[in-house]
Structure 1
Amino acid sequence: MFHTPRRRRTSFATLTSLLALLGAAALGGCATRDEPDPAAQDKRPERIVSLSPSATETLFAVGAGQQVVAVDSASTFPEQAPRTTLSGLTPDPEAIASHKPDLVIVSSDVTNLTAALEKTGTKTLVLPDAKTLDAAYAQFARLGEVTGHKAEGEDLARRTKADIDKLVADTPKPAKPLSYYHELDQTYYSVTSATFLGSLYQRFGLTNIADGADPTASGGYPQLSAEKIIQADPALIFLADTKCCGQNAQTVAARPGWNTLTAVKSSHVFPLDDDIASRWSPRITDLARAISAAVATP
């Protein structure tokens, strides 16, 4: 739920909650915590509950969809996922246990969920938010492995990496680096190059106006000001608040002073699918394709 990174309208209720969860998850790669390894089970899990939209998408992509009995309310893709009122932000052990899972997948062990579920004999796999593309690929393979679809998971990781590498290689390189602003919401929260999203933009040689002196500040999700954005004058603007907040090129141009921006004047304001731009799922290829098209736009 790229989980961007999680934002208040898709994966979580507020960006504040996002930052708290990121800290709690101790972000990094696809390492799990110290709980028993689900991969060590004698048989593959047949009743999986996913409380992570990114994991949900990946489970279906590796062929484990029929093993999924429930997903959280933020898991909006694929359409056939058994969506429920379960929450990844405030998980309820009793509600989760009612689905009789043999494996629960989360992106953060909030409220000591692992310990609570362990009392019922249910295993939990914690897959923290991916910080890099390689970490996302590793999670694809990991989810394939723990669900009995090892070959499919490894193949998905290989194909996704190859597709993105090709998109990067085939995208025309601008004469000089292009600057960009990625908008999470209308209060100007953004991402830096230290985030999963930022690392993807970096692959295309783009310069992030949100980086500042320390891209890791604010957990990689700083709140900018309209003045800072106008002063930075980005060449490209990417809007990840289209579905939630109805933002588009016209609403951006109508903001005070924004009609002077290079991106606005050159029609280089690009709407993104909020969900795709907030998850480290196999659909990151679609996001990379959108970035490539933007960079190649005259």
Structure 2
Amino acid sequence: MNARYLGLSALLICALTGCSQSPSSGTAPTQATAAAATGQSVTVTDFAGRIVQLQHAPQRIVALSNGEVDIVYALGGSVVGRPTSNNGAPVKAAEQAQTIGSTHELDLEKVALLQPDIVLGNSPMNEKDIPAVESIGAKMVLSSANSVADIQRQITLLGGLLAKEDRAKQLNEQLDQHIASLSDRTRTDTQAAAKPNVLLVYGAPGTYMAALPNSLSGNILELAGGNNIAADLPGLQSFPQYAQLSTERVVAADPDYVFIMTHGNSAEVKAGFLKEMQDNPAWSSVKAVKQNQVEVLPSDLFGTNPGTRVTEALDQMHHLLYPSETDE
């Protein structure tokens, strides 16, 4: 990809992180902790290291990404506000909640009308919105999801916030068991053959970037038994979960699969990517292209934080990598 696409690439990553994966600030986020204080008050420490105190577990919750919406409902809670999304609500019970924009374009007027106790945002993207949210009488709790472990930390954080610690522990134990089972299946698969080589791409027509292992999709790929051919590429300076796509590197690595993530029209994005490959004869030698193994991944599972549905993303990725396996 030419350097001229870098500016637009950054904007696209910003759109992606607004729904799920946040760009790293260069330091590991503080471990989320939660503890109920005396009486019914609640204190949590969010991913930005901020201590947030409430007089009681929040009843009116606004979430700026679908991952948090999913987790809140999995914990037994509900939201009054949810993100505007092409995929709709992640759970049917949340369909009636008011749409309020997203992490990268919060509609404060709509949020204010909902009179929320708490607004769940992205770290660090929504740090700038904290004063505005607090001005309407609400608190803001920040988290992010650049790995499955981050999703588990979100579950723990929101479990503490909702005074649902036991349910959060149960959800995380179930996810641990799912990952362990998947690891066993992958170990069996790779005894017969090497891990498939994969290029993970995020993009829109004309602009494409390689997802790195420190992104959520990259982590899912590794847990599902794939080898990320972009693993040692340098991340973009402001968005280290993604790298500039290098045709030369892709051709040299010769991936077995190319998986595309997008928030836009999946057919249009795939067609645009295929056209770009056709315009560059070097792509014709790539195994994934020759074997027609270039696919667009479901945006609700891979283009955004899927919350507890990350188990579905893991299973789908594993099935794509090992299609001959019959899953239990």
Cα RMSD after superposing both structures: 3.2
Of 305, 318, 324, the match for 1:279? 305
User: More displaced, 154-163 or 195-204?
Assistant: 195-204
Q: How does 1:29-68 map to 2 (within 5 A)?
A: 30=32, 31-33=46-48, 35-38=50-53, 41-65=54-78, 68=79
Find the residue that maps to 2:150 and give its secondary structure. helix
Residue 288 of structure 1: aligned partner: 314
Of 170, 180, 183, the match for 2:201? 183
- 1:149-189 CA-to-partner distances (Å, cap 9, x unmatched) read 22222211111221122122113115223211012124221
Distance 1:24 1:264, change over 3 A: same
- Say if 2:66 and 2:306, in contact at 8 Å, map to a contact too: no
State the one-letter code of the partner of 1:161. D
Identity of aligned residues (%): 21
Aligned residue pair count:
283
For the pair 1:91 / 2:106, whether they are aligned, the reply is yes
User: More displaced, 52-61 or 130-139?
Assistant: 130-139
Give the Å deviation of 1:251: 7.3
Q: How does 1:112-127 map to 2 (within 5 A)?
A: 112-127=128-143
Gaps of 5+ in 1: 1-7
Distance 1:64 1:25, change over 3 A: farther
Residue 265 of structure 2: aligned partner: 244
State the one-letter code of the partner of 1:273. P
For the pair 1:212 / 2:232, whether they are aligned, the reply is yes
- Say if 2:179 and 2:223, in contact at 8 Å, map to a contact too: no
Distance 1:34 1:224, change over 3 A: closer
Q: Distance in 2 between matches of 1:32 and 1:242?
A: 25
Gaps of 5+ in 2: 1-7, 33-45
For the pair 1:163 / 2:178, whether they are aligned, the reply is yes
- Say if 1:192 and 1:211, in contact at 8 Å, map to a contact too: yes
Of 103, 116, 121, the match for 1:101? 116
- Say if 2:62 and 2:119, in contact at 8 Å, map to a contact too: yes
Residue 145 of structure 1: aligned partner: 160
Q: So what's the TM-score if we normalise by structure 2?
A: 0.74
Q: Distance in 2 between matches of 1:143 and 1:273?
A: 26
Of 267, 287, 290, the match for 1:265? 290
User: More displaced, 212-221 or 89-98?
Assistant: 212-221
Give the Å deviation of 1:242: 8.3
Give the Å deviation of 1:137: 0.9
For the pair 1:69 / 2:80, whether they are aligned, the reply is yes
Residue 22 of structure 1: aligned partner: 23
Find the residue that maps to 2:244 and give its secondary structure. coil
- 1:228-248 CA-to-partner distances (Å, cap 9, x unmatched) read 323321012212238633168
Q: Distance in 2 between matches of 1:80 and 1:150?
A: 22
State the one-letter code of the partner of 2:76. G
Give the Å deviation of 1:98: 1.3
State the one-letter code of the partner of 1:276. L
